[in-house]
Amino acid sequence: MPQPFDDIARIPAEDRLLTSAVLTPVSERPPVARATLARSLARTLLDVQSYPISPRALLYTAIGLMVLALTAQRSFFPHDHWTFWIFRASFWHLLRDQNLYARYGRHDLFKYSPSAALLFAPIALPSFAVGLLLWNALNASVLVFAINRISKSRDAVLMLLLVIPELFVCLQASQCNALIAALIVLAFVALEKGQQVRGYLAIAAGVAIKLFPIAALSLAIFYSRRLRAALLFAMWAAILFLLPLVVTSPTMLMAQYGWWHQIEGSDALLRGASVMRMLQQTLGVDWPNWPVQLAGTVVLLLPLLQRDRWADERFRRAFLASLLVFVVIFNHQAERPSFIIAATGVAIWFADSSRDRYRLLMVLLSLTGLNALGYLPIWVLMQLELHGLSHQRSTRTSNAGAGGAHPLPLTAGERRLPADVVY
């Protein structure tokens, strides 16, 4: 007569050890059995192919629900210091030849270009809730698209996970920073493919909304035909900055740009959530912003002196990541929602790197909401790696193409996680 568990004898040795580990109380399990159980559970949890729904689909669903929830929240509970009301109103102020940069009611001031006011027409024409839904969906979807374009398919999930906390903050404030981050990333992707027209259009579009994306022009140094690049950027910038002429007169447009210059000049004394604010609070200094910003710019650009590394895609991607962090932490107008741009840079850097503990700790530090203090250590490490002064064990990449980067063989001393570990 068959006895209970007779079939266990026919189970392979490793699986039999796992079975006994599961059936045995934890305190009585041998170390080998506990290790086998842990490895098996880890493989099961990380085997995304076995999930009924892919992690990427789950993330897309979560982001969609976040867009809907934040749209509902701000539709029912708006507040005075809120950019979305200003974005909507700016289009009508431009259309009625009113000063875009005057204060209206208790709301904050409009601090974007006249071209941005015109481009806000699609969110100004519908009802408030519909316009807000379109705006939030645009920011989220364009950033997701940009991350998918620059990442390997395997790293896209990891990168999305790293940017979601800052994306939530950005969408809750109805800011345009996710769109700015996406435009800079898409510009890089286009330039990597030799698509100069698209690349410099993306940069010009970013500059037409906020001025600081002009820093992305530093990417042009990696690519040939720089004179053509300068002409293309100048053409797109001229078209976008003259675009409001379709609804206003040349005289009024010149006046609007004059008022914009005045408000940007008055904001030059602000410190925002930047390194300058951090220095003021920690050291008690009251320096002007420009010396610190100039020093940061020099540190950012110094790695570009290594001309022999321009052809290395890994170097170019690392510089892009550093640039995305730089334009936030040294920005005197940076706010809490601005850090979605820096988070995108950190996601690119971490996805291209080996998963060392100290890197993970620094990434977690950036997610704590400490603003510049959370991102400055990572930026310093990025610069050291660009100079080759840090023991960098980053994943080697070849041409990313449309599907992202592909790993190259590691040199001696480098390591890579097992291929079956998915993040």
Query: pLDDT tens digit string along 185-201?
Result: 999 999 999 999 999 99
The arithmetic mean of pLDDT across residues 120-124, rounded, is 95
Give bridge partners of residue 397 from the DSSP assignment: 407
Kindly state whether residue 406 falls inside one of the protein's structural domains: no
Q: How far is CA 212 from CA 20, 106, 135, 217, 293, in A?
A: 61, 27, 21, 10, 12
Query: DSSP of 152-179, one letter per residue?
Result: -HHHHHHHHHHHHHHHHHHHHTT-SHHH
Task: Give the mean model confidence (pLDDT) for residues 142-158.
Answer: 91
Is 166:343 a contact under the CB 8 Å cutoff?
yes
Residue 154 placed within a domain: yes
Is residue 338 within 8 A of residue 273, CB to CB? The reply is yes
Residue ranges making up the domain that contains 170: 56-387
CA distance 408 to 395: 7
Instruction: Look at residue 400 and tell me if it is in a domain.
Output: no
Q: 264-296 burial, b if ≥16 CB within 10 A, otherwise e?
A: eeeeeeebbbbbbbbbbeeeeeeeebeebbeeb
Residue 30 has pLDDT above 70, yes or no: no
Residue with tokens 């097992």: 418
Separation between Cα atoms, residue 177 and residue 349, nearest integer Å? 19
Closest CA to 261 of 313, 189, 211: 211
CB atoms near residue 316 (< 10 Å)? 21
Would you place residue 33 in the very low, low, confident or very high pLDDT band (cuts 50, 70, 90)?
low
Count of domains observed in the chain: 1
Residue 175 lies in a domain: yes
Segment 17-33 mean pLDDT: 48
Q: Which segment of 156-165, 200-209, 244-253, 262-271 scores lowest on mean pLDDT?
A: 262-271
Compute the average pLDDT of residues 263-287.
86
The fraction of the chain above a pLDDT of 70, given in percent, is: 79
Residue 81 domain-assigned (yes or no): yes
- pLDDT tier for residue 423 given thresholds of 50, 70 and 90: very low
In a domain, 409, yes or no: no
Question: What is the rounded CA–CA span in Å between residue 398 and residue 311?
Answer: 11
| Inside any domain, residue 8 | no
User: Tokens 């914009």 belong to which residue?
Assistant: 260
With respect to residue 11, please indicate whether it lies within any of the assigned structural domains.
Answer: no
Q: Which of 83, 323, 71 is nearest to 183 (CA)?
A: 323
Residue 216's pLDDT is 96
Structure confidence at residue 50 as a pLDDT band (50, 70, 90):
low
* Alpha-carbon gap, residue 51 to 175, rounded angstroms: 35
Reported as a single tens digit per residue, the pLDDT across 384-420 is: 999 988 654 444 444 444 344 333 333 333 333 333 3
**pLDDT of res. 75:** 86
CA–CA gap between residue 369 and residue 141 (Å, rounded): 23
List Cα–Cα distances, 374 to 87, 94, 236, 379, in angstroms: 30, 39, 35, 10
Q: Mean pLDDT, to the nearest integer, of 211-239?
A: 95
pLDDT at 228 over 80: yes
DSSP structure string for 47-112: -GGGSSS-HHHHHHHHHHHHHHHHHHHHHHS--SS-HHHHHHHHHHHHHTT--TTS--TTSPPP-S
Decide which of 82 and 281 is more confident: 281
